[in-house]
Amino acid sequence: MKKLTVLLSVLVLAMGILAAGCGGGDKGDKKAAAPAPAAKEELIVGTEPSFAPFEFPEKDSKEFTGFDMDLIRAIAKEMGYKKCTIKNMGFDALIPAINTGNLDVAIAGFTITEERKQQVIFSQPYYKSGLAFVVRKDVNDVKSFEDLKGKTVAVQLGTTGALYGEKLKEKGTTLKTFNTSDLACMELKNKGADAVISDLPVLQYFLKNGGSEYAKLVGNPLTAEDYGIVISKKKPELAKDVDKALDALRKNGTYDKLYEKWFGKKPEK
Ligand code: GLN
């Protein structure tokens, strides 16, 4: 009888432990899980939206669209932000706004340059680009960059294209600088300029979307440049988080999906 009582109590005890292992699991899990990170409210992003297919106004909407816009919205989401607000500024106002803290990040087809690296942190490179130029269709004596001497060239203020254009000035080229890339192309259309120096993917998009009626691409790409997202030197943690989010988006296929959406091909590895 005593033996039976011992056996029974062992059985009851075992069942109790089993029950705790199943039903009680819920309670246990909650206790063990790390506290959910507090959702961050808002990521404030600056851009200059005259740079299709990277950033440009969406048709019939107040929103901006493009590869950069999709990418930064995905990055903000990946980082846990509830909201991603995009502000429109002049290209040359973006780095100062980063440094005064008015923006968290800036994305605007920014080429990673040594000079800019003195002022801000860049994320890891996210797009391979480079400079090129188009000339008006009726300009037939320009076959290479050298032939731009003596011509009128339009560029966008504060860009690598504008810096490159400076090299032509001593060769007798007239350089016209505009606040936006659209205005530089408009000058070409209006015959106020013979050529526009800008980023190759932007010029290709422009030609494909009406520009080829009055402009043509000439010569080979002038440079190889990498785009990066701009972050303040005062926010190294934010820069690390942006890179981590970019890594995650590359791993989970979002980056490739967005690249294919905007450029119709897979990114170069
Ligand atoms: N990639 C060029 C630069 O960084 C042009 C950028 C732009 O016009 N948005 O200067």
Residue nearest to atom 8 of ligand 1 (CA): 159
Q: For the chain, give every domain's residue range.
A: 42-128+226-263, 131-223
pLDDT confidence of residue 28: 44
| pLDDT tens-digit series, residues 4-49 | 555 445 444 444 444 444 333 444 444 455 565 567 899 999 999 9
In the predicted model, what is the mean pLDDT of residues 232-250? 98
- CB burial of 239-262 (b: ≥16 within 10 Å; e: otherwise) equals bebbbebbeebeeeebbeebbeeb
* Distance of CA 156 from the midpoint of ligand 1 (Å): 8
Chain centroid, CA 37 distance in Å:
25
For residue 203, pLDDT over 90 is answered with yes
pLDDT of residue 21: 40
Which residues does ligand 1 sit against, CB inside 6 Å?
A: 48, 51, 91, 108-111, 156, 159-160, 181, 199
- pTM, full prediction: 0.85
Q: Do domains 42-128+226-263 and 131-223 have the same CATH topology?
A: yes
Q: Choose one of 88, 111, 229 to mutate for the ligand 1 pocket test, by most ligand atoms within 8 angstroms of C-beta.
A: 111
If you search the block for the tokens 């400076």, which residue do you land on? 166
Which CATH architecture fits 42-128+226-263? 3-Layer(aba) Sandwich (3.40)
Identify the pLDDT of residue 11. Answer: 47
Percent of the chain with pLDDT over 90: 82
Q: How far is the CA of 114 from the centre of ligand 1 (A)?
A: 14
Among the listed ranges 15-29, 118-132, 142-156, 220-234, which one has the minimum average pLDDT value?
A: 15-29
CATH architecture of 131-223: 3-Layer(aba) Sandwich (3.40)
**pLDDT (tens digit, 9 = 90+) per residue, 46-94?**
999 999 999 999 999 999 999 999 999 999 999 999 999 999 999 999 9
